[in-house]
Structure 1
């Protein structure tokens, strides 16, 4: 086996041991007590993360980012609005458009919960160059795609 091949195998071995530990630690991040009763699913976390870090957005913008249909996002927004997590308001620049945001009441709990993960990523990614961060993110994206049955090429 070539050195390059064994380097890849060494990295794979390390990652196969590391990934379950990372997932286990991520799962142990406690949902804040005030959010516990809301029965948030993984699909909600991605939506909340976009709103937390990027600010208010329209349903169509969120659908594009989440790579799902606008009707799917609209249903999630409706569900989370009824639970007091999200609110919709008219866009002052275009009254036909509605903007979605996290309610002021729920923002601190969501920020504390998702912010811990973001802080860990900031520490891990901070020392890397922009190109290295891009490579890292592209690598994780490719891994996720191929793990889910995407094109292995």
Structure 2
């Protein structure tokens, strides 16, 4: 059985997070979208895909799908949408001509870097002092919160 002081500590942490998280989300929303991207109607799912390509470099649709934890068909649809907007390009894989490598276009790379840099810099500052185990605990905690919140509001938890 839980110690009552442990429950009080958890409640205090919840109170602090209930103040912190909305402020954090508000600040993230205030990150200025570069002018070159403002008319593109980009959604959070696009942000995740662009982040993967920016930080990990060009990759296949299947690799992107694995990183984003979605089906390859979902990534293909996003890639098609972003390719039509000249944000992404597909090129033939030199090792397997049947595969396509997806990358950010040279034209859009500076705007995407400008858009994503504040968040990446802030995460690096927050996570760098932690040990690898502490970083993993932090990420695991966020995943657990996301799954629990999805269940609480009647959504399908992420896979």
TM band (smaller chain): over 0.9
**1:38 corresponds to which of 32, 37, 40:** 40
Q: Which residue of 1 aligns with 2:105?
A: 103
Q: Which residue of 2 aligns with 1:78?
A: 80
Q: Which residue of 2 aligns with 1:142?
A: 144
**2:23 corresponds to which of 18, 21, 45:** 21
Deviation at 1:96, TM superposition (A): 1.3
C-alpha distance in 2 between matches for 1:72 and 1:11: 37
C-alpha distance in 2 between matches for 1:5 and 1:78: 49
Equivalent pairs counted in the alignment come to 151
**1:64 corresponds to which of 63, 66, 78:** 66
Q: What secondary structure is seen at the aligned counterpart in 2 of 1:148?
A: helix
C-alpha distance in 1 between matches for 2:118 and 2:88: 21
C-alpha distance in 2 between matches for 1:138 and 1:68: 18
Deviation at 1:56, TM superposition (A): 0.7
Unaligned runs of 5+ in 2: none
C-alpha distance in 2 between matches for 1:145 and 1:31: 29
With the length of structure 2 as denominator, give the TM-score of the two structures. 0.91
Provide runs of 4+ in structure 1 moved above 3 Å: none
Unaligned runs of 5+ in 1: none
